[in-house]
Amino acid sequence: MSNTPSTTKALKAFPRFSLARSTPSLWRVTFDNPPINLIDPVMIVALNDLLTEIEKDNRVAAVVFDSADPDFFLAHYDIAANQSAFDALPVARSETDDRKAGARDLAHRCIPT
């Protein structure tokens, strides 16, 4: 049984996960990297691409992350994986700039309870 809503409008496959745009404002990311959803460089590059898509679409209000594997959400980082996929990532301006921008972005996206 899937947790994906039946109203899913668009499904996009990334390496290691899929994206379902249930509505313009609700997206669902399902991790699927058998056998135990290891985090590897390919997944990190794909997550960077996903974040870029999210940042470009101001209609996105929530992103739900789940797993295709009922026994594992995400496992550890695969240190034995080929690290060359990281070459596709953009170079950060600086750690300080990125932390400030991330904190500012997080503060704007927080939903009061």
Tens-binned pLDDT, residue by residue, of the chain (113 aa): 344 444 555 678 888 999 999 899 999 999 999 999 999 988 988 998 899 899 999 999 999 999 999 998 999 998 888 888 888 777 766 655 555 566 556 555 555 54
CATH topology of domain 10-109: 2-enoyl-CoA Hydratase; Chain A, domain 1 (3.90.226)
Helix (H) or strand (E) holding 47: helix 41-56
Q: What is the pTM of this model?
A: 0.69
**pLDDT score of 74:** 93
Residues 6+ apart with CB under 8 A from 81: 38, 40, 41, 42
**pLDDT score of 89:** 78
**pLDDT score of 6:** 44
Which of 34, 26, 25, 24 has the alpha carbon at shortest distance from 15? 34
Domain boundaries, the chain: 10-109
